[in-house]
Amino acid sequence: MAESKDQYKEQLKAKIDEWNAEIDKLRDKADQATAQAREQYEEQIDKLRKQQQQMQEQLDTLRRSSESAWNDVKKGIDSAWDNMDKAVRDAWSRFR
The letter for the amino acid at 25 is K
The alpha carbon torsion through 8, 10, 52, 83 (nearest 10 deg) reads -30
**Is 1 a residue whose pLDDT tops 70?**
no
**Helix (H) and strand (E) counts for the chain?**
3, 0
Q: Parse the chain into domains and list their residue ranges.
A: 37-96
Cβ neighbours, 10 Å, residue 77: 18
CA distances (Å), origin 16, targets 23, 26, 69, 95: 10, 15, 22, 21
Check: pTM over 0.85? Answer yes or no. no
**pLDDT tens for residues 38-73?**
888 889 899 999 998 988 888 888 888 887 787 788
Which residue in 15, 13, 30 sits closest to 91, CA to CA?
Answer: 30
**pLDDT tens for residues 65-95?**
887 787 788 888 888 888 888 898 888 888 7
